[in-house]
Amino acid sequence: MQPQDTPIPNLISDIKRTVRAALEEDIGSGDITAQLIPADRSARARVITREACTVCGRAWVEEVFHQLDPDLQLTWHCEDGDQVAANAVLFELTGNARAILTGERTALNFLQTLSGTATTAAEYAARAAGTQIKILDTRKTIPGLRTAQKYAVLCGGCHNHRIGLYDAFLIKENHIAAAGGIDRAIAQAKKIKSGALVEVEVENLDELRQALDSGADVIMLDEFSDEDTRTALSLAKGKAKIEISGSVDSDRLQQLAKLEADYISSGSLTKHLRAIDLSLRIDL
C-alpha cells in the first residue's frame, strides 16, 4: 500500500509536516555528534527488524532522509503492509554518513511506531477473519500522528472510523445531555450538515430505540452484554448499522465478531501499540 492510494485526507502533506517537525525537534541547532565524522565521508547502512511485524512507514522514512540529503539512496526489501520475519532487512541506505546518522533515530521512530500500529491491526484483523465484521480504529491516536496511524491501521488490514471531528457526527452521552435528548441531537445534526453520517452512542435498549426512531445511520453499543447486543441487532436490522464498542481487546474480539454486527471499534489499535524493535547497522 502507498499513502496516495488511501482515502485519508491530507496524508501526503501531513507526512512532510510531521517529518519536518520531528527533525527540528531532534536536531535543534545542529547534530554535534555527527560532526565527529568527516563531512564528505560516505557510508552504507541497513535496517533490520529484531521481531516479526507488519511493516508500515516507508514514506515517512524516505521523507526524513530526503529532507536531510536528497542524494541519499534507499533500497527497500518490503512494502507497507508486508508481514516480515524477525531479522529481516527492511531497507538499505547509501550516501553521506553524517546524513544517515542524523536521520537514523527520527526515521526509526516513525517506522517502529507505525509498524507497531500496523502489527496490532493485523492481529485484530486475523481474529475477525471469516466474519462480515469490520474492525474500526478511533480518534485515540498519538497527537500529531492522526493520519499516519489511520494509514497504519489500513496497512494492518483494519478500517478507519471518522478521521476527525469534521467528517461525521458521533453523538455521545454528553452531546445528548447538552442537546436535550437523542431526537433533538440527531435532528440538529441533519440540519448542520445534511448528508453527513450520523452515529449515536447508546447505553441501553431504550436509547437504541430512540436512536432508531430518530433516523441514526449507525448506532454504537457501549458496553452492551452479548444478549442485549443480539436484541439490538434484531431491532436495528434494515434500519441502521450497529457498531460494538467498549472494552474491546484482542482476546474479546473473536467472541464479539461472532455476533455479526457491522463494526467493532477499538481504541487499542492506536493507543496500546508497542513499537517494533528495529536496528540500523552502518558500514563506513
Residues identified as active-site: 105, 140, 172, 201, 222
Query: For position 179, what pLDDT does the model report?
Result: 96
Band the pLDDT of 249: cuts 50, 70, 90: confident
Q: Where in the chain is the domain with CATH 3.90.1170.20?
A: 3-125+273-283
Query: For position 255, what pLDDT does the model report?
Result: 79
Band the pLDDT of 1: cuts 50, 70, 90: confident
User: What is the Cα–Cα distance from 57 to 145, expressed in whole angstroms?
Assistant: 12
Query: For position 250, what pLDDT does the model report?
Result: 72
Q: Provide the CA 133 distance to its chain's centre, in angstroms.
A: 18
Q: What would the DSSP string read from start to end of 183-229? A: HHHHHHHHHHSTTS-EEEEESSHHHHHHHHHTT-SEEEEES--HHHH
pLDDT digits (tens, 9 = 90+) for 169-198: 999 999 999 999 999 999 999 999 999 999
2-23 average pLDDT score: 95
User: How do beta strands 53-54 and 83-84 pair?
Assistant: antiparallel
Write down the pTM of the prediction.
Answer: 0.95
pLDDT digits (tens, 9 = 90+) for 49-75: 999 999 999 999 999 999 999 999 999
Is pLDDT of 251 > 90? Answer: no
CB 281 within 8 A of CB 46: yes
Q: Where in the chain is the domain with CATH 3.20.20.70?
A: 127-271
Three-state DSSP class for residue 91: strand
Residues 190-229 as b or e (16 or more Cβ within 10 Å = b): eeeeeeeebbbbbbeeebbebbbebebbbbbbbebeeeeb
Query: For position 131, what pLDDT does the model report?
Result: 87
pLDDT digits (tens, 9 = 90+) for 99-133: 999 999 999 999 999 999 999 999 999 999 988 89
**Superfamily of the domain at 3-125+273-283:** Quinolinate phosphoribosyl transferase, N-terminal domain (3.90.1170.20)
Task: Say which CATH topology domain 127-271 has.
Answer: TIM Barrel (3.20.20)
Band the pLDDT of 18: cuts 50, 70, 90: very high
**Scanning the structure block, which residue is given the C-alpha cell 508481514?**
83
